[in-house]
Structure 1
């Protein structure tokens, strides 16, 4: 990416202005398993609230924020997930980003992308007609 794209394209990562704002007013709080970096403002605003934000590694997609960091970003957890949350349970699965629009997206049986073959009709369906009242 060139210099101009880092100024104007917000969908490919942090813009130049966001990077400057982060360096000046933010402090790094942590990083998740996907490489996203989380920040918190150094000083609270006039209402006493500290601002929290994320700089994504790669494209900006909110579904790439794990649940524990999502709760921290929205102020549901006072401390970062490493300190505030208990360790993960053995039955918990890793979060998965939104796969819509990719080749890994779920396609039900009968979908055109999955081959378009639907199961045969069972004969128990009777179409509605306005003459049948």
Structure 2
């Protein structure tokens, strides 16, 4: 979106006002693999330190990795590199929500994949209004 749109929008990233005034007196705590920066400063009504994220790109909460999510929500006291163990070799990196993108999951019957799905297996029989009642169906019986 660029530098020209930045003063007027908040959904494409931090606005100039946030950068100039919102982070005044705050301390940068860290940065994640997606380029988001994390800040701490001030306190909320309960006396807990306020924690912030400045997104690198679109403001989308699914772009916050789990370890930083836990820090933002006061589940851990310190930044993830100090309070959490190193990631295991088998752990996959966090992926943002891909809904609405070309990389979104689409099952076999989706229109975006051609709209063809496997035929029914034959265990389904459609209801018809002039057909017989099913055995044990008392809805049509006289009271």
Common fold by TM > 0.5: yes
Task: Tell me the CA shift for residue 92 of structure 1.
Answer: 1.3
Sort the Cα spacing of 1:60 and 1:46 in 2 relative to 1 into closer, same or farther, 3 A: closer
Task: Please report the RMSD computed on the Cα atoms of aligned residues, expressed in angstroms.
Answer: 1.7
Task: Tell me the CA shift for residue 90 of structure 1.
Answer: 1.9
Residue of structure 2 equivalent to 1:95: 94
Residue of structure 1 equivalent to 2:16: 16
Residue of structure 2 equivalent to 1:84: 83
Gaps of 5+ in 1: none
Report the Cα distance in structure 2 between the residues aligned to 1:126 and 1:15, rounded to whole angstroms.
58
Partner-residue secondary structure (3-state), 2:76: coil
Residue of structure 1 equivalent to 2:140: none
Report the Cα distance in structure 2 between the residues aligned to 1:69 and 1:100, rounded to whole angstroms.
22
Give the number of the structure whose residues are more often helix, by fraction. 1
Bigger Rg, which one: 2
Cα deviations by residue, 1:78-130 (Å, 9 ceiling, x for unpaired): 00000000111222111111000111100001100011111112111112456
Runs of 4 or more off by more than 4 Å in structure 1?
A: none
Partner-residue secondary structure (3-state), 1:12: coil
- TM-score, structure 2 as length reference: 0.83
Report the Cα distance in structure 2 between the residues aligned to 1:73 and 1:32, rounded to whole angstroms.
13
Gaps of 5+ in 2: 138-143
Report the Cα distance in structure 1 between the residues aligned to 2:45 and 2:106, rounded to whole angstroms.
49
